Amino acid sequence: MKSITQEQPMGCAVACVASLLSISYQDALSLFSHPARASTKGFYCRDIIAALARKRVSYTYKKYVGNTIKDGTIVFFHRSNSYPLGHYLLKTRRGWMNPWINYPTITSAKAGFQKRLPGKAQWIINPMN
């Protein structure tokens, strides 16, 4: 999986889906029922599940309770001073794919990989087995 930069203020979920599916941000955005939310209010776990289902990829979500997080899992972490609206990241073999690793820089967001999750996991979106 490669890092994908979110192209809109609330597009971290879209970038995670794009990275997971190895498609472009714009192609991933077209999988969401309400793509305008990437600029306004963002997406819920169920929106991500539905977007992945459009590519016949089966995922489920649940509240994080301290389980081991496997590669291919999208995680939403709590709102914090660093990310006041929360944030989605994707767990990969290379670490956490963060679609806006240089936040709060607003002029040019950049994606990258980091070793640790920069917040407390609240929801996890896992592949169904």
- Give the max Cα distance, the chain: 40
**pLDDT over 70 percentage in the chain:** 99
Residue 4 lies in a domain: no
pLDDT of 104 > 90? The answer is no
Cα gap 5→7, rounded to integer Å: 6
Residue 6 lies in a domain: no
Residue 113 lies in a domain: yes
Residue with tokens 């649940």: 62
Tens-place pLDDT, residues 28-71: 999 999 999 999 999 999 999 999 999 999 999 999 998 889 99
Residues facing 92 on adjacent strands: 95
Residue 107 lies in a domain: yes
Cα gap 6→26, rounded to integer Å: 10
Residue 5 lies in a domain: no
Cα gap 54→80, rounded to integer Å: 32
CATH code at 92? 3.90.70
Mean pLDDT throughout 83-97? 94
Residue 3 lies in a domain: no
How many domains, the chain?
1
Cα gap 79→64, rounded to integer Å: 15
Residue 7 lies in a domain: no
Residue 91 lies in a domain: yes
* Tokens matching residue 68: 């081991």
Residue 112 domain boundaries: 12-127
Residues facing 74 on adjacent strands: 90, 125
Q: Identify the band that residue 121 occupies on the pLDDT scale cut at 50, 70 and 90.
A: very high
Cα gap 47→108, rounded to integer Å: 26
Tell me the whole-structure pTM to 2 decimals.
Answer: 0.95
